[in-house]
């Protein structure tokens, strides 16, 4: 089974390059399941039901989120009733939405997707390690193919989650920091790992925001609106080949698709 996992989608530029490039890539690479982090898809902060529906129409099967999941109230009805947009599972059990889902791939195989949020340098939240134990146990009753989006600030916390879940899930994939890392690997017990998938959106920027806006804020220390940048669009992510019987990852490869690529 070929699974594509896409890094944080930033604003309209991120959505537009997915509209242009995602389906051709899925067809060319024979991708059977696609996961993307969409928590920055609406003007750089949050996601709406309209935008989520748009992204799903491009070939994405499950949208994960993170600490900006509640920034746009328009997503709440979809969170309450749908299964294609996740919020971090270690939010309060009283929070709207679901933290994990099982959906079939194009091959008919069930795929589990778990969304977790880190705690280091982040707002207070329940322990993602403890929460993952119960969810993995539940999903494993139906499938061994399980993907985890670990949305976290600290590289160390993401790496720790990779080792913690090695052999229990197919992949642990870091998001949030918007910079692709070069540490993709298969861990000893068969779990694919990368510290950060990177960013889908404008790369002539500071993490997707206009350079002059960010520099003004840093230099003057004055409140400044961080507008989404518009140039050098790219899709960052990884393609993972998984054994659908064992759930073990067989390979992981970093993906970068530029707006000028054919």
Which one of 15, 21, 32, 68 is the catalytic residue?
68
Predicted pLDDT of residue 259: 87
User: How far apart are alpha carbons 150 and 90 in whole angstroms?
Assistant: 11
pLDDT band at 12 (very low <50, low <70, confident <90, very high): very high
User: How far apart are alpha carbons 88 and 81 in whole angstroms?
Assistant: 16
Rounded to an integer, the average pLDDT of 55-72 is 97
Higher pLDDT, 187 or 260: 187
Tokens encoding 251 = 């390979």
Rounded to an integer, the average pLDDT of 62-74 is 96
Rounded to an integer, the average pLDDT of 74-101 is 93
Predicted pLDDT of residue 233: 96
Q: Looking at the chain, which runs of residues are DSSP E strands?
A: 2-6, 8-9, 33-37, 62-64, 100-104, 110-117, 146-151, 171-175, 185-186, 192-194, 199-202, 233-242, 249-258
- Over pLDDT 70: what percentage of the chain? 100
User: How far apart are alpha carbons 122 and 106 in whole angstroms?
Assistant: 36
Predicted pLDDT of residue 18: 98
Q: Is 2 annotated as a binding residue?
A: no
Answer whether 9's CB lies under 8 Å from 121's CB: no
Predicted pLDDT of residue 117: 98
Rounded to an integer, the average pLDDT of 193-200 is 98
Chain-centre distance of CA 195, in angstroms? 12
Predicted pLDDT of residue 80: 86
Q: Provide CB contacts within 8 A for 22, sequence distance 6+.
A: 34, 58, 59, 60, 235
Rounded to an integer, the average pLDDT of 171-186 is 98
Predicted pLDDT of residue 81: 85
Question: Which residue in 44, 103, 97 sits closest to 68, CA to CA?
Answer: 44
Q: Is 176 annotated as a binding residue?
A: yes
User: How far apart are alpha carbons 48 and 93 in whole angstroms?
Assistant: 22
Predicted pLDDT of residue 45: 94
pLDDT at 82 over 90: no
Q: Provide CB contacts within 8 A for 212, sequence distance 6+.
A: none
Q: Is 39 annotated as a binding residue?
A: yes
Answer whether 7's CB lies under 8 Å from 178's CB: yes
Q: Is 227 annotated as a binding residue?
A: no
Please provide the CATH number assigned to the domain covering 2-255: 3.60.21.10
pLDDT at 230 over 80: yes
**Segment 97-129, tens digit of pLDDT:** 999 999 999 999 999 999 999 999 999 999 999
Q: Coil, strand, or helix at residue 214? A: helix
**Segment 126-141, tens digit of pLDDT:** 999 999 999 999 999 9
pLDDT at 216 over 90: yes
Long-range contacts of 159-167 (CB under 8 A, 24+ apart): 159/193, 159/195, 160/129, 161/116, 161/128, 161/129, 161/132, 162/187, 162/191, 162/193, 163/187, 164/129, 164/132, 165/132, 165/136, 165/191, 166/190, 166/191, 166/193, 167/191
Mean pLDDT over all residues of the chain?
A: 96
Q: Is 212 annotated as a binding residue?
A: no
Active site residue 68: yes
């Amino acid at each position: 089974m070929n699974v594509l996992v896409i890094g944080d989608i930033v604003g309209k530029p991120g959505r537009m390059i997915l509209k242009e490039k995602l389906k051709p890539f899925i067809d060319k690479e024979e991708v059977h399941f696609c996961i993307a982090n969409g928590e920055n898809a609406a003007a750089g902060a949050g996601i709406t039901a309209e935008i989520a529906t748009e992204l799903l129409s491009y070939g994405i099967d499950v949208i994960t989120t993170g600490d900006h999941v509640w920034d746009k109230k328009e997503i709440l009805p979809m969170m309450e009733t749908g299964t294609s947009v996740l919020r971090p599972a270690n939010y309060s059990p009283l929070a709207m939405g679901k933290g994990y889902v099982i959906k079939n791939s194009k091959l008919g195989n069930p795929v589990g997707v778990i969304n977790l949020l880190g705690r280091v340098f982040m707002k207070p939240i329940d322990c993602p390690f403890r929460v993952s134990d119960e969810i993995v146990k539940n999903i494993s009753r139906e499938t061994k193919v399980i993907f985890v989006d670990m949305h976290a600030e600290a590289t160390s916390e993401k790496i720790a989650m990779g080792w913690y879940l090695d052999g229990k899930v197919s992949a642990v994939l870091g998001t949030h920091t918007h910079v692709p890392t070069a540490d993709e690997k298969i861990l000893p017990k068969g779990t694919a790992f990368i510290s950060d998938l990177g960013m889908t959106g404008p790369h002539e920027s500071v993490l997707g925001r206009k350079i002059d806006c960010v520099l003004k804020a840093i230099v003057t220390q004055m409140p400044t609106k961080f507008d989404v940048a518009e140039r050098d669009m790219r899709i960052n992510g990884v393609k993972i080949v998984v054994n659908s019987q064992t759930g073990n990852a067989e390979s992981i490869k970093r993906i970068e698709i530029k707006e000028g690529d054919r």
